[in-house]
Amino acid sequence: MTKKRLNKLVGRVGGIKNLVLTPLASLWLLTLLLDIFTPGKIFSPLGYLYIAIGIVVLIYVVWPLYKSRRLVNYYWQRVKKNKLAVVGLGFILFLILLALLGPLFTADPTAVNFEEKNIPPVGFSVEESVYHAETGQFITKTASGTWGHPLGTDNKGRDLLAMLVSGAGVSLQVGLLATGIAVALGTLIGVVSAYLGGKVDNILMRFTDIMMTFPFFLLLVFIVFIFGPSLAFIVLVIGLTGWTGTARLIRSETLSLRTREFILAAKALGASDGRIVLAHLVPNVISLIVVIATLSIPGVILAEAALSFIGLGDPSVTSWGMILRAGQQSLDVTWWVAVVPGVMLFLTVLAFNFVGDGLRDAFDPRSNV
């Protein structure tokens, strides 16, 4: 009885997918409206992006993956042959756990404590000249690392581990959100452009060319100048300018797909243009999308780090670029402040690249390793 009723409901809304999507999306819209019309903010703008992308990922990635477990298993067997990709995947999972669970165990990354400044990481010790007030002379003092601050502290006494954990969250947020926006936009523009062809194709691709030549850094400086530095703006600007490469790749792939007979067959059986784009073309380029997304995350993470490094980042969050910036000012004494986030950035970028390469090889039917 209940099942019958559920089936009827599913039939009306159109699939379990939509049954989940509709309430989630309306919930999201409701919170957004509440947030706008009440004085107390519930989430930051970034929080909304997060929830929105989370819903999209749940519906269009997690659910289909769960439905085709056999296929996922098949590709996992292929990815598994590439050891570097597996290591990279492990590192990314570690990073996600660090960003999610880390803040529960570490101190406040912004807490300043001048009593405990310039402490090196555990296992290291540095010599420091300290002004002695009574004698009026500089004396040499040795400072060694303690377990209280496993990675040491910076020149304001902030715990480096806590900063690192916070930075991991920022990097992942920016990387995933900006890439999500860029890839979604790029895919849509690429597929529509290739499918409709003719004038639409020409206009969209010329627009892409213009966007490619547009200096996004300048735009970012401009936006920071007008609206003030905010992580949400940085994410939006990177996302709204970074889709061009994706659009071109997807377009060229779709151009060969759209002449295939199954597109004509879908039309002959009465599918609309929107349906052909979303239900026939996009699923056929999904492997390309996954690879492009994975390979463009490191670029976005580096872009955000670079922005923070030159002081255009959001000052209210501790990102890796910002720690680097703090560290390079006193590289001679507190070298670890710059080295630790630098190494983390290096490893993160490497890990995403390895996973991207592994996925590309796994999805490519020609490279039967």
Find the shortest distance in angstroms from Cβ 14 to another protein. 8
For 84, 290, 300, 358, the CA distances from 77, given in Å and listed in that order, are 14, 17, 29, 11
One-letter identity of residue 80 = K
Query: Interface residues for another protein in 143-202 (CB under 8 A)?
Result: 198
- Binding residue for another protein (CB under 8 A) from 23, 90, 148, 283? 283
Q: Does 255 bind another protein (CB under 8 A)?
A: no
Closest C-alpha among 293, 165, 322 to residue 234: 322
The sign one gets for the Cα dihedral 194, 200, 206, 208 is negative
Token pair of 231 as six digits: 């992580």
Angle between helices 83-105 and 160-196 (to 10 degrees): 130
Token pair of 99 as six digits: 């960003």
Choices 23-31, 84-92, 201-209, 254-262; region in contact with another protein by CB under 8 A: 254-262
Query: Interface residues for another protein in 298-357 (CB under 8 A)?
Result: none
Q: Does 134 bind another protein (CB under 8 A)?
A: no
Choices 11-19, 78-86, 206-214, 348-356; region in contact with another protein by CB under 8 A: 11-19
198-237 footprint of another protein as x/- string (CB under 8 A): x---------------------------------------
Q: Does 266 bind another protein (CB under 8 A)?
A: yes
Residue for token digits 């099942």?
3
Q: Does 74 bind another protein (CB under 8 A)?
A: no
Q: How far apart are CA 193 and CA 334, in angstroms?
A: 53
- Binding residue for another protein (CB under 8 A) from 104, 133, 269, 369? 269
Torsion from C-alpha of 168, 174, 177, 181, nearest 10 degrees: -160
Cβ proximity to another protein, 65 vs 279, nearer residue: 279
Cβ proximity to another protein, 124 vs 262, nearer residue: 262
Q: Does 8 bind another protein (CB under 8 A)?
A: yes
CB 166 within 8 A of CB 103: yes
- Binding residue for another protein (CB under 8 A) from 1, 104, 226, 268? 268
For 70, 234, 255, 264, 274, the CA distances from 270, given in Å and listed in that order, are 31, 43, 21, 10, 12
215 φψ region: left (φ > 0), alpha (ψ -120 to 50), beta (else): beta
Q: Does 264 bind another protein (CB under 8 A)?
A: yes
Find the shortest distance in angstroms from Cβ 285 to another protein. 10
- Binding residue for another protein (CB under 8 A) from 113, 137, 272, 316? 272
Q: Does 271 bind another protein (CB under 8 A)?
A: yes
Can you give the binding site for another protein, defined by CB under 8 A? 7-8, 10-11, 14-16, 198, 260-262, 264-272, 275, 279-280, 283-284, 286
